Amino acid sequence: SLFIDSQPVIGELTMVTDGDKEGSDGSYVELGPEKQWVQIDLGTKAEIYAFLLWHYHAEGRVYHDIVIQVADDPDFIENAQLI
């Protein structure tokens, strides 16, 4: 399941986890200009080996202050960790 604090400016929420790495027009998600969050519920405990974030390919960009937090429950109480 995917949750987000506001609707994307461009694209659909399902594109966050669709595996498309092209970054071509119409194949990316743009969130608002301020701080945003996306929550991905895997539905069960799972080992996470990597988190991959693709940047917007049409321009040189750098993303700052990216925070990845994992937990064993959707309220981020049980075994919550920053990675």
DSSP secondary structure letter of residue 40? E
Instruction: Name the residue among 55, 10, 14 with its Cα closest to residue 38.
Output: 14
pLDDT in tens, 15-43: 888 888 877 888 888 888 888 888 888 88
pLDDT at 59: 78
Tokens representing 19 are: 């595996």
Query: pTM, whole model, 2 decimals?
Result: 0.73
| pLDDT score, position 32 | 81
